[in-house]
Structure formats: C-alpha cells, structure tokens
Amino acid sequence: MKKMWLSFVAVMMFIIPTEAFAAHEKANVKQRDTEAIGHVLAGHMFKHGELDEQKWMKIVRQYTPDQADEWQKVLDERKTLRKQMQDEQVKKALKAKCKEMKKKREAA
C-alpha cells in the first residue's frame, strides 16, 4: 500500500507542473490568436487597394484579356460602393439596422 501511494505521489509530482505549463502555453496561444485577428481586421488592407486592383488588372489582362473590361467595371463599382460606405448617413443607417437585428435576435 505504501508503494502505491509513493508511486502515485511521484507521478503527480511530474503531471501537475506539466499541466500547469500546458495551460500557460494555451493561454499564450489564445492571446496571440486574438492579436493576430485584431491585426487582420485593422483595415490596413484597404490602404493599398489601388495597388491590389492594379495587380488584379495586370493578371486579368495577361490571362483573360477578353474579360478585362468586365473586371474593370466590377472594380469601379467596388470603388463607388466603398465611397458610399464612408458616408455618415449610410453608417448611421447600418448601425440602426444592426441594432434592430440584434433586438430581434435577443427577443427570439
């Protein structure tokens, strides 16, 4: 009986610190993940939008030149929609719509 308790205590001496270390590592991973998500959603990708559009158009002209006009129309429409999204009235309307949808979800 004494040997069983001694082996149990020895095993626990190794397992408990290992588990504590693993829990600490998991917390660090979660923190890094949220930092990465925050970095991705920061909006820096819109800063260089013109360069991205130029790259897309270069690729389209290289591989499918017959569709270049259609792509250009889509990219122009995208620009106009982005400008519309920057309008304050549109932002207020979207916030109101989000609040309304949130109330519906909470009521359901």
DSSP string, 47-91: TTHHHHHHHHHHHHHHH-GGGHHHHHHHHHHHHHHHHHHTSHHHH
Same domain membership, residue 58 and residue 99: yes
57/89 same-domain check: yes
Domain co-membership, 72 together with 31: no
Domain identity same for 56 and 99 = yes
The CA angle 11-5-20, to the nearest 5 degrees, is 30
Q: Is the per-residue pLDDT at 104 higher than 70?
A: yes
- Provide the domain limits for residue 8: 1-42
Residue pLDDT, tens place only, 47-59: 566 778 888 889 9
Supply the pLDDT for residue 67.
93
Q: How far apart are the C-alpha atoms of 62 and 79, rounded to whole Å? A: 23
**Is 105 found in the same domain as 52?**
yes
Q: What is the pLDDT of residue 61?
A: 92
**Are 23 and 53 found together in one domain?**
no
Mean predicted confidence (pLDDT) in 102-108: 91
State yes or no: pLDDT of 6 exceeds 70.
Answer: yes
Say whether both 61 and 93 belong to one domain. yes
| Residues 6+ positions from 49 with CB-CB distance below 8 Å | 82
Q: How many domains does the chain have?
A: 2
Q: Domain check: are 35 and 65 in the same one?
A: no
Higher pLDDT, residue 2 or 71: 71
Residue 102 scores a pLDDT above 70: yes
